[in-house]
Structure 1
């Protein structure tokens, strides 16, 4: 299906907002580029091509031009503050998300999904979000998904009580979609992110506030053990995250084309960008 600009203007906008770490703040910029490449490939594979993506960052990686050059759905938002070292609070990412949100507000609002630059989205995510989020709802959560160990390409599907006692959105930040209504007097409808808080408490916060959220039956692929995953190196849960990765590698199954194609990829594409090891 070719992208139709006129058709897009008649529908509620859907935006992927991707904050990207600065080149000066990472150990391996090539790895960051490879991870973003996979993320963009999964977005480009959407069954509903009527979406836009805003990448907020200090630097433009090579894959951005390679995959999105000339495509009006993709835009780069230049970060205009000095690069800082990564911190436990991940303030740089939060600031970039805020700038993305401001851009969405300026353009009339709509559905916004924050997507980390190392995660994958199911091919029918945009299509399903438009179909399930009704006028009275403020968004939804993705509570099932695949965790993929990038070092071995082993994968498990959550929920799985052997590995993590909780829903997928309790673990992965790329798991919420909010409807932004910039002109609404209701704070919840203007900015669900602010009112509902962190992704892992959205369902509980929504229930307490008496608002309705959708649960999406479309998976996200959460890549871990990438050597550039912020939560595995910073903050109070870094050690637990590394232990979690070992459990995924131990109990997971090799990812095959059947799972990779859910995200518009193949096993071969993942192998080409990963660092598959057979001996741990």
Structure 2
């Protein structure tokens, strides 16, 4: 079984909680659109978002540790995200997952992930080498042919026992304590050094949604769109990734 862990930022540090909520609703619909019913989704949050969508495989796990503050927004935000991912991974034990995947709450994922994992339960895991990049409101989507995992946090599917979960979790720790869960681009190399190689996913696995106004950190290269990789956002792609309109006029249109 594949368990998705989705850390959701708190209303206190959101630039627009309405925008965060609408993007999350699309994300969770995408996650729950799996072709196999053998999955679970754990949403770790300070406050449960009010959305119209419900699914029996979703668990909302609320936390009581202080939300990130504005002293150092990137470091504080990453620490908050790491705490939530760890909390979700520990909670996931009760579902006896073979694998887990951290998903950023504004991204979308392929509906084929759970079925693929179920067919390969003993593999160390996979990193998403090929995926898509999308700017809200556009009629186009852009294929990222390689190194998607270096750009987007929704990128690693890890066998559960390789998550390096501490015996006793300490949620008052800082950024360094959670680096393994946050530094998505490093996971592949870390596991390789331990002779526990993860493989490239053999299909495009996720959509990285850019310029939402809620990202912690932006590398300007992530905002570049190569016209040669442009694809029309057709119904087939929308259905595979659940990439339907978020009904959010706040976001930029191109």
Give 1:1-280 correspondences, 5 Å limit: 13-63=1-51, 66-68=52-54, 71-85=55-69, 87-89=73-75, 90-134=78-122, 137-150=123-136, 152-159=138-145, 167-181=147-161, 188=162, 191=165, 198-218=183-203, 219-231=205-217, 238=218, 240-241=219-220, 244-245=222-223, 247-248=224-225, 252-265=230-243, 269-270=244-245, 272-273=247-248, 275=251, 277-278=253-254
Query: Separation in 1 of the partners of 2:28 and 2:8?
Result: 12
| Contact kept? 1:57, 1:78, Cα under 8 Å | yes
How far is 1:179 from its partner?
A: 1.6
Query: What secondary structure does 1:104 align onto?
Result: helix
How far is 1:196 from its partner?
A: 9.0
Structure 2 residue ranges without an equivalent (≥5): 167-177
| Contact kept? 2:152, 2:208, Cα under 8 Å | yes
Seen in structure 2, the aligned counterparts of structure 1 residues 271 and 103 have a Cα distance that, compared at 3 Å, is: closer
Quote the RMSD (CA, aligned, Å).
2.7
Cα distance per residue 1:225-256 (max 9 Å; x no partner): 1111222xxxxxx3x33x531x2287744523
Q: TM-score, normalised by structure 2?
A: 0.82
Alignment match, 1:9: none
Cα distance per residue 1:111-170 (max 9 Å; x no partner): 111111001010111101221342xx32221111001012535421112xxxxxx51111
| Contact kept? 2:82, 2:179, Cα under 8 Å | no
Structure 1 residue ranges without an equivalent (≥5): 1-12, 160-165, 182-187, 232-237
Q: TM-score, normalised by structure 1?
A: 0.75
How far is 1:47 from its partner?
A: 0.3
Q: Could you say which structure has the larger radius of gyration?
A: 1
